[in-house]
Amino acid sequence: MSASPEIEPIGATVPEPRQNDPDTLARQIVEKLTYSIGKHPEQARKYDWLRATTLVVRDRIIDHWFASTDRIRASKDKRVYYLSMEFLIGRLLRDAINNLQLTQPIGEALKRYNVDLDMVELLEPDAALGNGGLGRLAACFMESMASTGVPGVGYGIRYVHGFFRQEIAEGAQVELPETWLVHGNPWEFERRESSYEIGFGGKVMTQQEPGKPPRQVWRPAERVLAVAFDTPIVGWRGEQVNTLRLWSAQAIDPILLDAFNSGDHIGALVESNKAEAITRVLYPADSHQAGQELRLRQEYFFSAASLQDIIRRHLGENDSLDNLAEKVAIQLNDTHPAVSVAELMRLLVDVHGYDWAKAWTITRATFGYTNHTLLPEALEHWPINLFERLLPRQMQIIYQINADIIRQASQDKGFDGAQISAISLIDEGHGRRVRMGQLAFVGSHAVNGVSALHTELMKETVFQNLHQLYPERIQNKTNGVTPRRWLMECNPGLTGLLTDAIGPRFLDDIEKLADADPLADDAAFREKFAAVKRANKARLADVISDRLAITLDPDAIFDIQVKRIHEYKRQFLNIIEAIALYNQIRAHPEKSWTPRVKIFAGKAAPSYVQAKEIIHLANDVARLINSDPAVRDLLKVVFVPNYNVSLAEIIMPAADLSEQISTAGLEASGTGNMKFALNGALTIGTLDGANVEMLEHVGEENIFIFGLKADEVAQRRREAHSGRSIIERTPLLREALDAISTGVFAPESPARYHTLVSNLYNNDWWMICADFEAYWKTQRSLDSLFLDQNAWQSKAVHNTARMGWFSSDRSIREYAKDIWQAGPGKVT
């Protein structure tokens, strides 16, 4: 027997590698059906085949998992811990089968029983333990750490209900609970032996032992149990398997027997319900702070459990915590786990007896912090009285860290009052709050943004003063996406074409896609490239026809905007442009219009009123335009409900045009922009986030940039707010807005969008009016370009060929080298 990832090895070996031929696989799948599921192949239902196939694949992963764990343990290499409140994983079966190179033999094995592998893969529920970009990035990073040989562990929360299921009822978003665990989860392993007590509330006592400095001891009033659930994450070619460890909250005493026996059957379960509530639901907040006590409990719960686990593992292999930072790197994915800084200090000082200065050196050297947004409404801050009540000792520690930092800033750098209040961990202005961004910043040796522009803006805006205090600390790590999921798995047609044309080297080193660049000039290749795109569009059209009964023409431009719905992402601008185009087509039927399909998908935070109105508007506009015979084949608008990772896998390969049109300076990076371009879509976008670097890589002739730049937006915001004068002098815009506000798209409720439009007149905060004309013109130039298919497809090929740099393998290598000093290229 070999060591399970958590059990010490007892010196035995890894089992013989399993055979991967279709005969063996078919036999094993039937064995699983019989002995693990209790079904004859003749009786087996679709879900039984999914489960049996998953179990056969899982066995192979486990062999690699043990081998990886043994290797890492033996090498004593530095480990990387990625702490993230969100992992937007999606389905795992196809990813695992692809990375283990089993697609062909498993497909054949199942075919013997008349079962289709694609059908089986599509049955798997989508693990949606995240909201959007930040959570999906964490999932791409887990896969890339395994693929590039970084010994990484992801720590997060095992939410019972992931991101809500979105339905559209009469045009409006309806949120329904998501239930990914309902059929069980064959990928996870519960590790009861790895459970920890997590405290909340109570008080702090000072303990004085003779001859020793006084010690603070936290006596929590409440305790819950954090229980580990492990999911193996298999890297490319199965060479390394890492662990995603998600924590589930349970009561220490599952039932209060006294209460039960005295007849209070509900009261007997109160504790249990309260504990389990911590990991019951994912907060559906994206780019907006979710200011609830339960959210702070979630943050502390998973941070504290992860730190106890890290320390236990470290002390199992080392004599003390002195060398923690040499053996452990902890990355804070945004501020959600930032309380870890105070918690590690508490563990080092109060529990392990370190003096403050030493503990602070270890803490700072261990943590890194990634910022994902500059939006003020998304920056986390907790009311002091809440923080103090829930985490009294951590609050004291934060005060002490703050005092040290402030002293240093005024003594060493001569900071004045305004600068001190800007860097303070305590916001005194809004009813006294703890600023989690500042805490994460001062507690980390490296702080990074997620695109070049975003990192520069961090230095100039939110962290301006902290940057002055610690000028070496901020660095950039531009995001990336895993090419396994976002090219190989979601676009087998393109992968096959590229393999035939340039050989398989790009599968192992995605930057070798550049070998395909000259093929942009090869007419035969362009034709094949276009045929793959058309097939992908037809597949998406089928999905839309099944789900929404809307028929699309795969020869029209597929113009797609899919992402969270937010004012700064400007789906509204896109809808206004659709209406203006609709008006023009109706007014000038004699002109030759390029047929276009505008596709939207995305979820709005349930409490975000404007975002929900935008969804409603998209659906109302779609209803009217799609039923107007005057534009029938020239314009269609579609809102596809319930955007998630699996839907994205169908959408990304099917786009001609990718909409990345955020108000410049507000989208930290974007990652959808990368997935689209990698699959050969042209981008229409602003100079925002990673679009800036995409422009540098794909070349300015292959990307369509319009609108105000970040500094121009900032300037305009200082000067003018009203959109009125622009609206009045831009008939296309005015007519579109008039139509919206007079109820053309909502005859049953004509005032529905009155506020949405009047807000634009009064305050063009998101620069929708300011950018409208440039956007319109760029769209029309794309209409013309599409008619020249040679030119369009050549640009599309250049996009795919030049996007290799935007792989999360590259991002992870940069983190490993510059922040973690870990992994194959480590600098120790």
Determine how many CB atoms are found less than 10 A away from the CB of residue 590: 5
Whether the Cβ atoms of residue 117 and residue 651 lie closer than 8 Å to each other: no
The amino acid present at 764, given as its one-letter code, is: D
Tokens 């019989």 correspond to what residue? 34
Helix locations, 182-246, DSSP H: none
CA distance 177 to 643: 15
CA distance 429 to 97: 53
b (16+ CB within 10 A) / e for 516-547: beebbeeeebbebbbebbbebbeebbeebeee
477 is catalytic: no
The one catalytic residue among 373, 671, 686, 730? 671
Minimum distance of ligand AZC from residue 165's CB (angstroms): 19
Active site includes 312? Answer: no
Q: How far is the CB of 574 from ligand AZC (least distance, A)?
A: 17
The CA distance from 465 to 174, in Å, is: 43
Residue 64 or 372: which CB sits closer to ligand AZC?
372
Nearer to ligand AZC, 287 or 363 (CB): 287
Beta-carbon neighbour count of residue 749 at 10 Å?
Answer: 11
Query: Least distance from C-beta 19 to ligand AZC, angstroms?
Result: 41
Alpha helix stretches (DSSP H) within 269-292: 270-277
User: Degrees (nearest 5) of the Cα angle 414, 419, 420?
Assistant: 80
- Which of 563, 752, 810, 813 is labelled catalytic? 563
Question: Minimum distance from CB of 749 to ligand AZC (Å)?
Answer: 32
CB of 375 to ligand AZC, least distance (A): 7
Nearest to 720 by CA among 687, 772, 688, 765: 765
Nearest residue to ligand AZC, by Cβ distance, number only: 133
564 is catalytic: yes
Nearest to 512 by CA among 487, 535, 485, 489: 487
DSSP secondary structure string, 308-374?
HHHHHHHHHHSS-STTHHHHEEEEEESSTTTHHHHHHHHIIIIIT---HHHHHHHHHHHEEEE----
Residue 361's Cβ-count burial label (10 Å; 0-12, 13-18, 19+) is middle
Nearer to ligand AZC, 399 or 568 (CB): 568
Question: Looking at beta carbons only, is 574 or 673 nearer to ligand AZC?
Answer: 673
CB-CB contact of 50 with 123 (8 Å): yes
122, with CB counted inside 10 A (0-12, 13-18, 19+), is middle
Q: Which run of H or of E encompasses 536?
A: helix 523-548
Find the catalytic residue in 372, 473, 537, 802.
372
- Report the half-sphere exposure of 467 (CA within 13 A, side-chain side): 15
Dihedral sign, CA of 265, 266, 267, 269?
Answer: positive
Tokens of 428: 């005194």
CB of residue 142 to ligand AZC, shortest distance in Å: 14
Which are the contacts of 509, defined by CB distance < 8 A and separation ≥ 6?
none
DSSP 481: B
**Alpha carbon distance, N-terminus to C-terminus of the chain:** 33
User: Cβ closer to ligand AZC: 110 or 157?
Assistant: 157
CA angle 582, 725, 758 (to 5 degrees): 65
For ligand AZC, give the closer residue by CB, 325 or 450: 450
Q: How far is the CB of 193 from ligand AZC (least distance, A)?
A: 34
With respect to ligand AZC, which residue has the nearer C-beta, 450 or 560?
450
Q: Active-site residue among 675, 697, 752, 798?
A: 675
Q: Which is nearer to ligand AZC, 373 or 644 (CB)?
A: 373
Catalytic residue among 484, 564, 616, 802: 564
DSSP state for residue 256 in the 8-state scheme:
-
Residue 709 CB, nearest approach to ligand AZC (Å): 17
Q: How far apart are CA 110 and CA 101, in angstroms?
A: 16
Alpha carbon 653 to chain centroid, angstroms = 19
Minimum Å gap between C-beta 340 and ligand AZC is: 17
Minimum Å gap between C-beta 158 and ligand AZC is: 20
Question: Is 73 a known active-site residue?
Answer: no
Residue 8: CB atoms within 10 Å: 9
Look up residue 645 and give its two tokens.
């990772």
Q: Residue 540 Cβ, how far from ligand AZC at the closest point, in Å?
A: 23
Closer CB to ligand AZC, 211 or 376, in the complex: 376
Cα 345 from chain centre: 29
Nearer of residues 334 and 343 to ligand AZC, judged by Cβ: 334
Residue 787 and residue 594 in contact, taking contact as beta carbons nearer than 8 Å: yes
| Nearest alpha carbon to residue 644 among 574, 563, 566 | 563
Judged by beta carbon, residue 596 or residue 675, the one nearer ligand AZC is 675
Catalytic-labelled residue, pool 569, 598, 697, 802: 569
Please give the residue ranges that form the binding site for ligand AZC (CB under 6 A).
132-134, 137, 286-287, 334, 372-373, 378, 450, 479, 667-671, 689
Contacts of 485 (CB under 8 A, 6+ apart): 90, 95, 140, 143, 649
User: Is 671 labeled as catalytic in the residue annotation?
Assistant: yes
Rank residues 577 and 688 by Cβ distance to ligand AZC and give the closer one: 688
CB of 288 to ligand AZC, least distance (A): 8
Residues annotated catalytic, as ranges: 372, 563-564, 569, 671, 675
